[in-house]
Amino acid sequence: MSASSAISAGSAPEFRAAGTDLSERRRSGVSRGPIVDLSGTSGAIGIDWAADGSARIGAFTTIAAIAADERIRGAYPGIAAAAQGLATPQIRHLATLGGNLAQRSRCWYFRNPQIGCLKKGGSDCPARSGNHLYHAAFDLGPCVAPHPSTMAMALLAYDATIATDRRGRLSLPDFVGDGTNGAADHALEPGEKIEAISLPAPLASERACYKRAISRSYADWPLVEVCARAVVSGGIFRHVRIAAGGVAPVPLRLTACQVALEGKPANAEVIAQAAQLATSGATPLPMTGYKLELLVGLVRDVVERIAK
């Protein structure tokens, strides 16, 4: 079935590329609508480089290919590290960048076909009064499930834009929203596909680091994750960008931390003070307060590594 015929029939289609997320939702019964199988074309697979050093990554490019690409690792090390850190080798070799960005919530209430929730057309978020151990520490909207995409968080730190087959370039904040729409994980309209992700040219001598905190030693979803990048010139932080995932319904730019570091000496005292600001605006749920300590520790860790 094509996307246009599914929409004409009154059903919202779901796209399947590698199907690493969709297959699970189909097995559980959460996803029941029509499926449109996608195949990558030459323009949708691979990484293209412009003369200024900027990159365009096709939506069908696998996570493993991004993690292994030497030029990506040199120009955008935070993105390469994030790609290398997520899921398992088997999944990384199948999962696509577009699929990672468009995946649905990992909340166990959403994944249970017997339970209604906002993301399935329900009237409330059962996680609020139920088990929300792995949910938001920044309560931004009606749904408290954390945003599921590691790559969205890393791309936010790099000011990436997303091109679809219907619109020009969307910024990451426009693509993921602000968390106030509890029914959506992204801004894609029914039948709309991601085509490519564009990254601005890296800054001269910029450094980056990505780290995640997980509850087991391997192949787990992050409790908290952080990607930071900056230029350290003459012992001073410049062009600081810090993004966090696992703590809110959307990836967060840690603006207070960025401001506290910008133009400041790259020393332990400044870094420690800035890291404490990572929790600015946090409104943890009864079971998610522990994420704030993890967030502060991760920010301090990644920024210290950048400063070395």
Burial class of residue 167, CB neighbours in 10 A (0-12, 13-18, 19+): middle
pLDDT value at 9 more than 90 = no
Pick one of 3.40.50.10790, 2.30.30.90, 3.40.50.2300, 3.30.390.50 as the CATH number of 206-307: 3.30.390.50
pLDDT value at 5 more than 60 = no
pLDDT value at 220 more than 90 = no
pLDDT value at 176 more than 60 = yes
Signed CA dihedral, 200, 275, 260, 257: sign only: positive
Rounded mean pLDDT, 34-43: 81
**Under 8 Å CB-to-CB from 156, ≥6 apart: which residues?**
172, 173, 227, 243, 251, 253
pLDDT category, 120, cuts 50, 70, 90? very high
Tokens describing residue 52: 């200024």
Give a three-class secondary structure readout of the chain: CCHHHHHHCCCCCEEECCCCCHHHHHHHCCCCCCEEECCCCCCCCCEEECCCCCEEEECCCEHHHHHHCHHHHHHCHHHHHHHHHCCCHHHHCCCEHHHHHHCCCCCHHHHCCCCCCHHHCCCCCCCCCCCCCCCCCCCCCCCCCCCCCHHHHHHHHCCCEEEECCCCEEEHHHHHCCCCCCCCCCCCCCCCCEEEEEECCCCCCEEEEEEEECCCCCCCCCCEEEEEEEEEECCEEEEEEEEEECCCCCCEECHHHHHHHCCCECCHHHHHHHHHHHHCCCCCCCCCCHHHHHHHHHHHHHHHHHHC
Convert the pLDDT of each residue in 248-258 to its tens digit: 999 999 999 99
Convert the pLDDT of each residue in 182-196 to its tens digit: 999 999 998 899 999
pTM for the complete prediction?
A: 0.94
Confidence at residue 7, expressed as pLDDT on a 0 to 100 scale = 45
Place of tokens 């906002």: 118
Whole-angstrom CA distances from 56 to 46, 69, 235, 241 are: 8, 13, 32, 20
* 55 Cα distance to chain centroid: 18
Pick the range with the lowest mean pLDDT from 37-46, 70-79, 98-107, 150-159: 37-46
Pick the range with the lowest mean pLDDT from 18-32, 41-55, 98-112, 148-162: 18-32
Confidence at residue 250, expressed as pLDDT on a 0 to 100 scale = 97
Confidence at residue 12, expressed as pLDDT on a 0 to 100 scale = 72
pLDDT category, 8, cuts 50, 70, 90? very low
Confidence at residue 11, expressed as pLDDT on a 0 to 100 scale = 61
The C-alpha torsion from 282 through 284 and 288 to 293, rounded to 10°, is: 40
Tokens describing residue 236: 């001073």
pLDDT category, 24, cuts 50, 70, 90? confident
The C-alpha torsion from 126 through 131 and 133 to 138, rounded to 10°, is: 30
Tokens describing residue 262: 């910008």
Convert the pLDDT of each residue in 46-87 to its tens digit: 999 999 999 999 999 999 999 999 999 999 999 999 999 999
Rounded mean pLDDT, 227-246: 98
Measured distance CA(66)–CA(16) in Å, rounded: 20
Cβ neighbours of 10 (radius 10 Å):
6
Whole-angstrom CA distances from 206 to 17, 77, 155, 228 are: 34, 10, 15, 11
Mean pLDDT of the chain: 93
CA atoms within 13 A on the CB side of 46: 5
pLDDT category, 20, cuts 50, 70, 90? confident
Confidence at residue 168, expressed as pLDDT on a 0 to 100 scale = 85
Pairing of strands 35-37, 161-164: unpaired
Domain limits, CATH 3.30.390.50, in the chain: 206-307
